[in-house]
Amino acid sequence: MPKSFDNVAGLLEQWGRERKITTNGTIAGQLTKGIEEANEGLRSITALEAGEIDHATFDERIEDDLGDFGVTFLMACFAAGKDPVQMLYVAHREIRDRTGELGADGIFYKDV
């Protein structure tokens, strides 16, 4: 198992380069693929909630779904020539001063 985010990101960057995803692919293409992967995750959740799959199957599926979603994020960053850690930091700067919390209903309530 890889030891760090940077290690895994490096392996995936090489994988994307070898397959020309980061050179011939587009940011829009990777974001679109990310939406597809997110929908796979939602289908796994729905299948679990409907009793169509057990928790062990769900765990296997959601790991794959979330991993694939993460790969598309990385490929989009690399296609854009951006460092993924820097992109996460930019997102953190944007949200760090937001207040509020996620309610039990799954809705984020901002403080006013």
Cα gap 89→56, rounded to integer Å: 34
pLDDT in tens, 38-79: 999 999 999 999 999 999 999 999 999 999 999 999 999 999
pTM of the model: 0.87
Judged against a pLDDT cut of 80, whether residue 87 lies above it is answered with yes
CB 41 within 8 A of CB 64: no
pLDDT in tens, 1-17: 777 988 999 999 999 99
What's the whole-number average pLDDT of the chain? 95
Cα gap 62→44, rounded to integer Å: 7
Q: Where are the domains of the chain?
A: 5-84
Determine the 3-state secondary structure of 66 from DSSP: helix
pLDDT in tens, 68-85: 999 999 999 999 999 999
Cα gap 77→45, rounded to integer Å: 27
